[in-house]
Amino acid sequence: MRVLISTIPFGQKDSTPLSLLEDVGAEVVINPLERKFTEEDLLRLLPDFDVLIAGTEPITRKVLKAAKRLKFISRVGIGLDSVDLEAARDHSVLVSYTPDAPAPAVAELTVGLMIDLLRAVQVSNHRMHNGIWHRYFGRRLTEVTIGLVGVGRIGSRVIRHLSGFECQKILVNDIDPNINLPTHPSCDVEMVNKETLFQNSDVISLHVPLTGKTRNLIGAKEFQMMKADALVVNTARGGIVNEADLYDALEAGRIAGAAIDVFDKEPYSGRLENLDQCLLTAHMGSMSVDCRSRMEREATEEAIRFISDVKLLSPVPDSEYLNQTRFGVG
């Protein structure tokens, strides 16, 4: 079978996935463009392949209709907003993913970004490189109220990490109001509505998938609800925070700062680059060596199961198909 690996980097820190594919006789092509594929790229390249080991490129209905040979997509990661699941099912294309592998790295980066913003680390670094010595006052995690939108695999890990910093108050909101909240003796975790969370949190961190319902979840209206010294962290998906409204809120001083790891269009280029109070990282939440290697390995092993006609371990569950049907593709 012919396998196209679109996600990059791949096999850079651990070549095991490539060796496994070679062992089953797969003909493998790694992203020849060395950048994120566009829909047009996929329309041109994908029709010649049976299996796609995918990143976050747009696997649309149009792409799936054109890819006559394609029978299996193995997503390296958890997000499914880039895959039209209904169209995949209509064209008899199976889809799997690696939902647990990225969580440890994303959760750790999230807490790191919170600390960076609270202590003005990136601002101080920039000033120091420009010959300016200034000692910034900051806040500790134990002093502030954290608001988490989404308490699934990553959000629950963030709560666990925050408890180690003796964080006193964590407000949470989730699409499932009956979700079992993590409990820790050192911190008070409370389920609230989004309005209460936005109004009372010092740091707001997003951990929800991108769907039609969550696109522009944070925009001008929500920024108006927040404290003037509020900080926003997004390590979930681009499009959840309206980037134009974020720029306006930061520029006008309606909120104090933001840390953004994910963008509506990647690679990112835009006005947020001009704001010192906006920390930008290049979609690197999952990019610890261990988590990235695990993602690649699990996605490859799933592809090999498909090639070998063995039962898949991580097929996308029906609930994800239902979510896209109810709320739309992000």
Residue numbers annotated as active site: 237, 266, 283
- Cα–Cα distance, 214 to 206 (Å, whole number): 10
CB burial readout 12-32, b (16+ within 10 A) else e: eebeebbeebeeeebebebbe
Measured between alpha carbons, how far is 130 from 125 in angstroms, rounded to an integer? 9
- The residues facing 278 across adjacent strands are 258
Could you write out the DSSP letters of every residue in 192-217? --HHHHHHH-SEEEE----BTTTTT-
Q: Give 28's DSSP letter.
A: E
Please tell me the distance from the alpha carbon of residue 230 to that of residue 75, in angstroms, as a whole number: 34
Helix (H) or strand (E) holding 310: none
- In degrees and rounded to multiples of 5, residue 83 shows phi and psi of -115, 125
Q: Are 47 and 20 in contact, with CB atoms under 8 Å apart?
A: no
Coil, strand or helix at 52: strand
| DSSP one-letter code for 262 | -
In the chain, alpha helices (H): 16-23, 39-45, 61-66, 85-90, 103-118, 121-129, 153-164, 194-200, 220-225, 243-251, 289-307, 318-327
Contacts for 266 with CB less than 8 Å, ≥ 6 apart: 36, 56, 238, 282, 283
